[in-house]
Copies of this chain bind each other. A is one copy, B any other.
């Protein structure tokens, strides 16, 4: 709730850097983008880059996390408990996100991207679980979040591999009954 509001300078600078990176990544592949490119585009000093990010991989992570989070948060605010609707919209968010990535050619960073997606998913699911079950068994909820995140991410991998012709919502909907029944069974 009460986030200590951060210095407007850092907000500006971070946005400049991230936007410039996104801009550049529409023209070149990630491996061809240098820190100098980014700071030149953003018109900030190269040293300032390192004030905010550890290196260019750190930037990649944070940009991807944020882009993904924007999609996911939307799904969450629309329906703030884990139900069929939420599941479907989160799944669509993931597939959308991966589609936008494939346009930007981050080849060779699939593992990094996969990790980021799962991390963000886990965060989201955990938040929702806490809201839904106000238990204090934090660890159990964390594990549940891990399971859900890996599961839904795995589904997106599967979808991309075989079933791109099926609409994402139909693809995920077909499996949901089994999952949700399972969840209801164990938690009630």
Judge if A182 is at the interface, Cβ distance under 8 Å: no
B residues in contact with A45, CB < 8 Å: 8
A44 to B45 CA separation, bound complex (whole angstroms): 20
* Copies of this chain held together in the complex: 2
- Within the complex, which residue of B8, B11, B43 is in contact with A8, where a contact is CB–CB below 8 Å? B43
A77 to B100 CA separation, bound complex (whole angstroms): 42
B residues in contact with A43, CB < 8 Å: 8, 11-12
Q: Which residue of B lies closest to A43 (CB)?
A: B8
B residues in contact with A44, CB < 8 Å: 8
A38-96 with Cβ < 8 A to chain B? 43-45
A13 to chain B, nearest CB (A): 10
A163 to B147 CA separation, bound complex (whole angstroms): 77
B residues in contact with A12, CB < 8 Å: 12, 43
B residues in contact with A11, CB < 8 Å: 43
A45 to B44 CA separation, bound complex (whole angstroms): 20
> Which residues in A have some Cβ–Cβ distance to B below 8 Å?
8, 11-12, 43-45
**Can you list 6 A-B contacts with CB-CB less than 8 angstroms, sorted by A residue number?**
A8-B43, A8-B44, A8-B45, A11-B43, A12-B12, A12-B43
The 6 closest A-B pairs by CB, nearest first: A8-B43, A8-B44, A12-B43, A8-B45, A11-B43, A12-B12
